[in-house]
Structure 1
Amino acid sequence: ERLQLRPTGQLSNTRLFSSSGQSQLVEMDQEPDEKLRDRLAAESYKESGSDSGKWTRLQDDDKDKDKPSTVCGLSVGGFVLLLLLLLALAGLIALGSFSIVKWRSSAMLCSTDNCVLQSASMLRTVDRAVKPCEDFHGFACGNWDHAYPTQPGIGKYSNFYKDTRDNLLRLYSLLSHGYSNRLLIRGHRSKAAAKAVTYFEACSNTTAREALGQKSAESLISRLGGWSLTNDVPATRPPSSDPGDAGIIERIAKANALLAQPFFNVQPAVSDFNHRRRAIRINQGFAPYQRSALVTSDEKFHKAYMAYGEQVLKAIGSTVNNASRKRLEELWQLDVRLERLRNSYVERRKVAPKIADPSRFEMTLTDLCKHISDRLHHASVTPESLVSEAVRLSPQFLGVRIKPTTLMRVDNLEYLLGLAELFAPAMAAKSPASMLLSDYAVMTTLRSFVHALSDPFQEARRQEKQIIYGNNVLDNLWLYCTSKTDLAFKFLTGALVLQRTITTKTLAKVTSLVDHIHKELRLVVSEAPWMDKETRTRALAKVDRIKQTVGYPQIIMNAHKLDKFYDDIKIDKGDYFASYLNARATKHKWSINHLSSRQPHHRFEWGQSPLMANAFYSQTTLRMTIIAGILQPPFFDEHFQDAFLFGALGSIVGHELNHAFDARGRYYNATGCLQQWWSNATSMQYRSRRDCFVQQYSNYKAYGMNNRGAHTVEENMADNGGIYVAYRAFQKHQETASSDASLLPGLGYTPDQVFFMAFAQLWCGHVTKQFGRKLMETDVHSVYEHRVLGSLSNMPQFAKAFGCKPGSPFNPAKRCTLWT
């Protein structure tokens, strides 16, 4: 029987299958072939009976479509199986360097199409020359670069990135035809779909964008009150009068209204200690570069900043001279000063200080103003000008009354006080500081929008990237416009793709897997030997309150609701920049409604595109979400064996659920509020386990740097707890009659070995040395090699499955554990 092909791109990010059974290689940073695009779109419009969410069996279009495809007299499935069996024989010979654990002799070789496809998927990145007990990541992922060549200019190319791009390519195949009247949501026409197509076409219309040239940038600068660096461009010249007092605040508020956030961002929230009490959250503003580059005033980044700024001025039509270079230097120094006031990402995530002194993180507007007054000792400056005016003018709070008793959530009080000191001189009449701050607000806003402007502005981005990363490659037009359309219409675009790739059967399978992992976590918590009875009771109550969301929000499959939701977005087909501005202006529509509403705090608000390959856990809402975009290999395939499903998506589910008890999550109680709810004895036991992970990962090195164990401890604990819980759930599931324990062709591995391979292959990818060093410095996740080494070396079950000798990297004398 011939192979039943999966939906487009399901087996690989670069090889796409058409209805004729033929495949075509598409480089992800190149324009997809026109004929391939036509085929993809045609297949996307197909209906399968009454359920448009199901894929039909793909068949050949010729007159012999009922005959099985053959190669050398064998069916396609038989031919692939023969090749895989030969690979298996060669592999078993090559694997003499490590011990394959004996398994029950009754195991049968699986020869179904689905097993062949699973073997092909898993074998694609395996490097048998690497010994699993020495470097399991190298063994499982050693051929990644050969299987998935990385495009120039990409610093990190991972499975998450690859699968998200696959989804965007499917979306592109729909948008690029412009057949908006044929893009249906569950069989119903959608006005929002027509808007999305028009938005995509406006973005793709580079002729119109180039014709507008600098006019788009001029209108943006004029909207913000002018820019002193472009005094020689009449349309961008600031008014002759000094902005003065509230004027500077108003300019910054206008930048915030465009979501540029030059100095701080303001958004609706609830109290960390009482979710029934609404609050306004004030957080640190936008930074152009990574923290170390600004704190140390790194010369390479300084050079890139200056080159970027000069090219932006040229693109606007301004003359670059000594005066403008001096102002750019002053803006750079201001960025350095602001970054030194900001907290690092790790510092901002700490919750223990909030519990120790809540009054420094949550206070009324009156109390915040008093803090500022005490710091300034400046009678002529009213804190209301610095705080309440900025809040009032921010887009999320238009029409919402700000009162002295309004609760303010302040992530970094010292930053706000330092900002007040910076602003105080600018509030005086005719102050040079006032125009400097205004210029900074414009510079930051331009940086947020420059990607949507004409090519001379893109040259600024290319020059900056060349200096910092050694390449000047930007996203291809198809990828840029598709991703921006998805950003603006994420619910609508999610529906267009997912109704064709995700079925109710798929979601039911994932939900069942999540239920298994969730139930096992409860057992693990109940058996934790280091928890006292009282803490365990509260921990189990928290586990019981964790909610699950799989797939996508229900609104996306309702054409009427989608049309209503996107009704406010106005699209100008001839002016992408104006359309982009309008789309951003509506981005926080739900947040505004949420703050204005008197209804209790919603336990769930969807924030990411359904096409994104990702999963996450919310500490405050106690909700774990598996986004539909991740439901494809190597994360999931409903036709693959249980060992794969539990090792891949199961370990991700376990990871997200274990965030409820990581070094940060443990402080959130069963209602999602911050509280010290653990006993002192249990807390001490927990800290000893946390410290073990910190020390273990701090000893790992990559890209010439040590892993910062304290920086990555939350994610490391989630990795370790996640795979432990997933493995336990898998072992119990194996005992059921429904579990498939047959051997895969070409692999010949036991179910345990397949489980661990599926986990390791999640973390395949390519990272350049320069980008890797950046990740080591800034990312709260360990690099991929360390995620595999740390998690699996702490599991004696892995050492047993692969026969690793004591003292080898994956069978160390000392192990770190969270739950045992």
Structure 2
Amino acid sequence: MNAWSGEERDIMGPTVTRAPSAKSATPPLKNGNDLRGAGYLIAVGSRTARFRRKHRNKCLLIFLFILILLLLCLAVAMTVLYVKQKRNKPIRICHTKECLRSAANLALSMDTTTNPCHDFYQYVCGNWADEHPRPDAYRSYDWFREKQNKVYAVVRDFLSKNITDQPRPVQQAKDLYTACMDTDTLDKLSLKPIFKILKSLGLPPYPTFINATEGFDYSTYSFDWLEAVINVKTQLGMDILIGFDIFTDPRNSSVYRLVMGSPETTNPFPSMHNEKKQHIGQKSFLKRKIDYYKKNIRILTNKKQSDSKFDSLEDKDDEEKAAHIYKLFYAEIIKLFILESAPKNFNLTELELDQNIFLAADEYYTMSEDMYELEAANDTSIDDDQYLDVPDYTVEEVQAHTNMIVLSNNGTPAPIWKRYLEGVFKISNVDLDFEKDTILISDPDLKYMSLMAAYLSKAAPVTIELFIWIKVVEVMAVHTTTELRLLFQRSYDALRQHDLTVPPRSLYCASAVNDLLGMAVSYGIANPDFLTNTKPKIQVMLTEMKKSLAQLVGKTKWMDDETKLATYQKIIQMKTLVGFPDWLLETGKLEEFYEGIEVDTKKHLQNLINIIQVKIRNALNSFRTGNNFTWATDPTEVNAYHTFQENTIRKLQNN
């Protein structure tokens, strides 16, 4: 075997000879693999095999590189997503019943047929009126009114239940509701509660102007109108002729100031028509009321009540219609009081009595119009900048200015302002220092006060008494008999474009209790979980809003650094009042808040007055304590607002 040529012998080794008869013990092999495995074949390297091995290794490296690259891309993508998730909080979808209800209401209110680019309001709220028809009891109806009515319904249901183990003020709220609903007792008492109050105010049971007795000499009649006005303010909390309040200092919200001007709180009692009580610094309620009446006059169409009295109004001007309706209303009130308290020596015929009554109503209306003109000519509405610049005066300065105006109008000066303030604060624990305790009075208010004093200096005392008497009786009468309530409602409807359905008595009484004892009502219907669950979320929302505001301030170009710094400080100091006070559910705090209030289930009108008197006394006593930024409205009011002079945001609870 010569596989390679070489020397004489085979290069692979010596030749091996096997005997022919030798038999192999190895079983027959079938293929090359078997031979190689048995050691008969030896692998011989080749160029093709080496290429294949090299190509296989290269593919493996490429695969590993691609795999590493993919893993690196995945890691980068995951890192980016993680960073985005950290920066942008995930959107959480609210599935609670409140959220679902709100979403459904919003969807139903939208008018998707409208192009939002053309009329966005119609697109968002176009179907709201159709989905929420206006009840006949209201001239206007909106989201706030609807939610407020639901709150009143909850309050009514709570006050109607017989629940024990409640704090005393909560039980008093229930008693107040019971007294309000007891119309049988109100009718039985008739006008006796008002007669008692008139006597405490120093007013007669019916106006002296009527002169229902013989030998009455008007020239000798004297009437201390200032004493009567002081009594009305301290006992009823009502402004007549003089407006007075304790108000937050516009330049320093931590302290209170005395404020005087035109009458603002003209009706301190709960209104049948949910009219809000007024505060110093806003437009006069009287001005808005008369302006509205003059624009919205219609003829009374109730054929069952005084039809003949109002049929003659069709051909008169609107102002004449309004005046006629007013005079009829006042005349009927006066007559009811005269008939209820007729003296033994009453000697006027029915015709003479009616003539005197209509003369009295006409005289009152004339003086009322004169007072309105004084207020309307000196509108007390002012913008924010003017509000900060309201001047302050000492009592002596105000009196000196008043005396000058009175003398210039040929009147007789009289000391008014110091005596008025002393009389009002007599029911409090505060002693005024007239050297230091100056009074905030806007220029229009100072003009009104001076002209009013000049007017009264020349007016007949019997006319001034008539004016104060009707003002007082008008706001109390509606809280007495059914007859007076109907009289008030007929006249109220006659001055509007259409008759209004009277709200159910139960809702009115619930509203009245909520107005006077709002914290006690809130205690009864408050959810304790609100403080731990809902309130923190709202506070987070308000905090985020303040942060966003601060960011917007930082981006503005038109504000200098000093102004921005002041704005930042104001944002930081901004206070938030959410839902209801934290102290409300603490043991004993509610009783402390309503200390001194007494309620009787058989004395509805007296209950209202008792509560008003306690609130007036507390307000006067707080003059020296400083502003503690307490709740200006009850937690049951559906609204949220910013009190700019106190730098406070109030978010009220919606139950």
Q: TM-score, normalised by structure 1?
A: 0.56
Mapped contact 1:547–1:622 kept (Cα < 8 A): yes
- CA deviation map 1:445-479 (0-9, x unaligned): 22222331111111222122221122143221111
Contact 2:429 2:621 in 1 (8 A): no
Alpha-carbon distance in structure 1 between the residues aligned to 2:106 and 2:519: 32
Q: Which residue of 1 aligns with 2:638?
A: 613
Note if 1:415 corresponds to 2:476.
Answer: no
3-state secondary structure, aligned to 1:269: strand
- Do structure 1's residue 348 and structure 2's residue 369 form an aligned pair? no
> In structure 2, which of residues 526, 541, 544 is the aligned counterpart of residue 498 of structure 1?
526
What is the one-letter code of the residue matched to 1:530?
A: W
Q: Provide the secondary structure at the position in 2 that maps to 1:376.
A: helix
Q: How does 1:175-574 map to 2 (within 5 A)?
A: 175-179=159-163, 181-182=164-165, 189-224=166-201, 225-226=203-204, 227-228=206-207, 231=210, 242-244=221-223, 247-257=224-234, 258-269=236-247, 271-274=249-252, 278-285=256-263, 286=266, 287-288=285-286, 290-292=289-291, 298-318=319-339, 321-342=354-375, 347-353=380-386, 358=390, 361-377=391-407, 381=412, 383=414, 385-394=415-424, 398-405=428-435, 406-411=437-442, 412-426=445-459, 432=460, 434-469=461-496, 470-499=498-527, 502-574=530-602
Q: Which moved more, 1:435-444 or 1:373-382?
A: 373-382
For 2:241, give the aligned amino acid.
F
Distance 1:499 1:574, change over 3 A: same
> Is residue 130 from structure 1 mapped to residue 78 from structure 2 by the alignment?
no
Instruction: Give the Å deviation of 1:594.
Output: 0.8
Q: From the superposition, tell whether residues 489 and 355 of structure 1 become closer, same or farther in structure 2 (CA, over 3 Å).
A: closer
Distance 2:149 2:602 in 1: 27
Q: CA–CA distance in 2 between the matches of 1:168 and 1:501?
A: 21
Deviates more, 1:200-209 or 1:167-176: 167-176
Instruction: Find the counterpart in structure 2 of residue 89 from structure 1.
Output: none
Return the alpha-carbon distance in structure 2 between the equivalents of residues 530 and 109 of structure 1: 37
| Aligned-partner Cα distance in 1 for 2:209–2:193 | 15
1:118 positional shift: 4.4
Check the 8 A contact 1:284/1:342 in 2, yes or no.
Answer: yes
Against the structure 1 CA distance between its residues 277 and 625, is the aligned structure 2 distance closer, same or farther, given a 3 Å change threshold? closer
Structure 1 residues 492, 110: closer, same or farther in 2, change over 3 A?
Answer: closer
CA–CA distance in structure 1, aligned partners of residues 256 and 128 of structure 2? 48
Deviations, residues 410-454 of structure 1 (Å, cap 9, x unaligned): 13111111111112225xxxxx2x221222112112222233111
Contact kept? 1:171, 1:482, Cα under 8 Å = yes
2:513 counterpart letter in structure 1: T
Partners of 1:295 and 1:336 within 8 A in 2 = no
How far apart are the structure 2 equivalents of 1:111 and 1:199? 40
Greater shift, 153-162 or 288-297, is seen at 288-297
What are the superposed Cα offsets for residues 241-264 of structure 1, whole Å, 9 maximum, x if unpaired?
7334xx211011122221221212
Amino acid at match of 1:143: N
2: distance between equivalents of 1:238 and 1:463? Answer: 36
Question: 1:471-524 CA distances to partner (integer Å, 9 max, x unpaired)?
Answer: 143221111111111122111111111236835211111111111111111111
Identical residues among aligned pairs (%)? 15
SS at match of 1:156: coil
Indicate the SS of the match to 2:649: strand
1:145 to 122, 129, 140: 129
Taking the aligned partners of 2:518 and 2:509, their CA distance within structure 1 comes to 13
Q: Which residue identity lines up with residue 440 of structure 1 in the other structure? A: F
| Kept after mapping to 2: 8 A contact 1:160/1:614 | yes
Q: Deviations for 1:631-651, whole angstroms, at most 9, x for unmatched residues?
A: x6xxxxxxxxxxxxxxxxxxx
RMSD: 3.2
Structure 1 residues 339-379: Cα deviation after superposition (integer angstroms, max 9, x where no partner):
222258975232444666x5xx3111111111112222389
> Contact (CA 8 Å) 2:109, 2:126: kept in 1 or not?
yes
CA gap 1:491/1:253 in 2 versus in 1, 3 angstroms: same
Letter aligned with residue 218 of structure 1? F
Choose the corresponding residue for 1:583, options 601, 605, 611. 611
Deviations for 1:143-172, whole angstroms, at most 9, x for unmatched residues? 323322221130121111111221121111
With 299-308 and 311-320 compared, the bigger mean Cα shift is at: 311-320
Residues 96-107 of structure 1: pairs in structure 2 closer than 5 A:
none
On the 8 A contact 2:629/2:646 being kept in 1, the answer is: yes
SS in 2 for 1:223: helix
CA drift at 1:559: 4.2
Contact persistence 1:281–1:409 (CA under 8 A)? yes
CA contact (8 A) 1:308 1:463 kept: no
1:587 Cα deviation after fit: 2.0
Aligned to 2:59: none
Larger Rg computed on CA atoms: 2
| DSSP 3-state at the match of 2:565 | helix
1:449 counterpart letter in structure 2: M
User: 2:148 maps to which residue?
Assistant: 164
Distance 1:453 1:608 in 2: 27
Deviation digits for residues 275-300 of structure 1 (CA, Å, limit 9, x no counterpart): 57653211311355625358999334
Going from structure 1 to structure 2, the CA distance change for 1:139 and 1:300 (only over 3 Å counts) comes to farther
Cα separation, partners in 2 of 1:283 and 1:178, compared to 1, 3 Å? farther
Query: Structure 1 CA distance, aligned partners of 2:538 and 2:359?
Result: 58
1:321 is paired with a residue of what secondary structure?
A: helix
Unaligned runs of 5+ in 2: 1-89, 267-284, 296-317, 340-349
Q: Structure 1 559/207 Cα, relative in aligned 2: closer, same or farther at 3 Å?
A: farther
Write the distance in 1 (CA, Å) between the matches of 2:245 and 2:358: 35
Amino acid paired to 2:477: V
Q: Secondary structure at the match of 1:369?
A: helix
Contact 2:425 2:431 in 1 (8 A): no
Total equivalences in the alignment: 500
Bigger drift between 144-153 and 222-231 goes to 222-231
Query: Structure 1's 147 and 271: CA in aligned 2 closer, same or farther, altered over 3 A?
Result: closer
TM-score by length of structure 2 reads 0.70
Q: Which consecutive aligned stretches of 4+ in structure 1 deviate over 6 angstroms post-superposition?
A: 107-111, 237-241, 294-297
SS at match of 2:618: helix
- 1:624 paired with 2:654, answer no
> Which residue identity lines up with residue 222 of structure 2 in the other structure?
P
Indicate the SS of the match to 2:109: coil
CA offsets per residue over residues 518-567 of structure 1, 9 Å max, x none?
Answer: 11111111211111223222222222221222112233223412123323
